[in-house]
Amino acid sequence: MSALTLAKASEIVDAALGHALELGLRPLTITVLDPGGHPLVVKRQENAGILRPQIAHAKAWGCLGTGQGGAAGARHATRDPAFFAALAAISDGRVASSKGGALIRSEDGELLGSIGVSGDRPDNDEAVAVFGVEKSGLVADAG
């Protein structure tokens, strides 16, 4: 697979939202970006907070921008907050270093895009992101 299609991105998001419903999570927003950071799919559940689309996008975009999953970014941000404050400034605030973002890779490691989930606790956001990607037959690199 050399590109993440709209159909595959939709499959990822729908699987992730289905899993969130099974887990009884709070309302989520999920976005899938292509490798250039452009949205392929954005879905916002009813009653999700009004900033959730921007947060989900920032989680996914941050993964692409740093080349690592959200969990790795969150650990790094804890160790070096000054760097991540500078990163937020450099990116015009478009990076959120938090669990809930993951790189999407093919089985052979090719970068296909990223996913960002926002609405519940970061660990739950990450679990839903990973589930959706893996359910679609791709590899989630959450860091």
Residue-wise pLDDT tens digits, 9-28: 999 999 999 999 999 999 99
Proportion of the chain above pLDDT 90, given as a percent: 76
CATH class of the domain at 6-141: alpha beta
Whether the predicted pLDDT of 73 surpasses 90: no
Q: What is the mean pLDDT of residues 94-102?
A: 88
Whether the predicted pLDDT of 1 surpasses 70: no
Helix axes 122-135, 6-23, angle to 10 degrees: 130
Distance separating alpha carbons of residues 18 and 32, to the nearest angstrom: 16
* Strand arrangement, sheet containing 111-118: 39-44, 29-33, 111-118, 101-105, 139-141
pTM of this prediction exceeds 0.85: yes
